[in-house]
Amino acid sequence: GQNIDQPTEMTATEGAIVQINCTYQTSGFNGLFWYQQHAGEAPTFLSYNVLDGLEEKGRFSSFLSRSKGYSYLLLKELQMKDSASYLCAVLDSNYQLIWGAGTKLIIKP
Amino acid sequence: GAVVSQHPSRVICKSGTSVKIECRSLDFQATTMFWYRQFPKQSLMLMATSNEGSKATYEQGVEKDKFLINHASLTLSTLTVTSAHPEDSSFYICSARDSGTGDTGELFFGEGSRLTVL
């Protein structure tokens, strides 16, 4: 079956760095997405990786290793507004998005 | 970025009635739109893929006669929850991809519609 694993919850301190990991086992791979979702709101796009390596976009970076079925989202200089759920999603061979359950990130002052 | 507008944002209805939710791409054309449902503290669950001018593709376990999807134009898809029951209460979200970006382009999400069935 298809499976995406990410931690259920993480806690970090304002101003620090946090890395949210995602491992996946899917039928085919056409890219991996990271989305941010605040409670009660729709997800917003953060990043898309289809090639191995690190993609940096401001305070957020996303890394992909296709051979390991592994990605991480790195958040730097954490702000209180970064408290949200972070969803990892993989586009499989049929171009269907397979969603992880999300990681709830709690930022403490 | 591109905008997807979803309406209504909140709706409360009586059991047995039908509710229609609209999803519009405001500044791009979307051949394909996706409808998701999210129960509290759970991830998004894809319900169906809406294709302009043809029948929607439903995920396993989703009743196509209960969740009617119409994608009559390149900028509008509608989801109608027919004969709604309390267990249909959920957060429904649509998303769309710019037709010009292919299958790997960024997905843009609507604001979501919170349905409460009394």
The 3-class SS string of chain A reads CCEEECCCEEEEECCCCEEEEEEEECCCCCCEEEEEECCCCCCEEEEEECCCEEEEECCEEEEEECCCCEEEEEECCCCHHHCEEEEEEEECCCCCEEECCCEEEEEEC
Question: Chain-centre distance of CA A60, in angstroms?
Answer: 10
Q: Enumerate the residues of chain B whose CB falls inside 8 A of the CB of residue A33.
A: 107
Greater confidence, B72 or A36? A36
Categorize the per-residue pLDDT at B1 as very low, low, confident or very high, splitting at 50, 70 and 90. Answer: low
Q: Enumerate the residues of chain A whose CB falls inside 8 A of the CB of residue B1.
A: 45
- Least CB–CB distance from B43: residue in A48, A96, A99: A99
Cβ of B44 within 8 Å of Cβ of A48? The answer is no
* Chain A stretch 31-60, residues whose beta carbon is closer than 8 A to a beta carbon of chain B: 31, 33, 40-45, 48, 50
Categorize the per-residue pLDDT at B62 as very low, low, confident or very high, splitting at 50, 70 and 90. Answer: very high
What integer pLDDT is reported at residue B92 of this predicted model?
A: 94
> What residues of chain B have any CB closer than 8 angstroms to a CB in chain A?
1, 6, 34, 42-46, 49, 91, 93, 103-104, 106-112, 114
Name the residue in chain B with its Cα closest to that of A48: B106
Categorize the per-residue pLDDT at B42 as very low, low, confident or very high, splitting at 50, 70 and 90. Answer: confident
Greater confidence, A52 or B101? A52
Q: What whole-number distance in Å separates Cα of residue A79 and Cα of residue A35?
A: 17
Is 70 exceeded by the pLDDT of residue B55?
Answer: yes
CB distance B59 to B46 below 8 Å: yes
What integer pLDDT is reported at residue B83 of this predicted model?
A: 96
What is the side-by-side order of every strand in the sheet holding A60-65? A3-5, A18-25, A70-75, A60-65, A53-57
In 3D space, the residue among A6, A1, A31, A2 whose CA is nearest the CA of residue A101 turns out to be A6
What integer pLDDT is reported at residue A93 of this predicted model?
A: 85
State mean pLDDT over B41-54: 86
List the single range of A23-27, A62-66, A93-97, B49-53 with lowest mean pLDDT: A93-97
CA-to-CA dists, residue B55 to B64, B71, B94, angstroms: 10, 8, 17
pLDDT per residue as tens digits for the range A53-108: 999 989 999 999 999 999 999 999 999 999 999 999 998 887 778 899 999 999 99
Fill in the amino acid letter for A83.
S
Q: How many CB pairs under 8 A join A and B?
A: 46
Cβ of B46 within 8 Å of Cβ of A97? The answer is yes
pLDDT per residue as tens digits for the range A3-12: 999 999 999 9
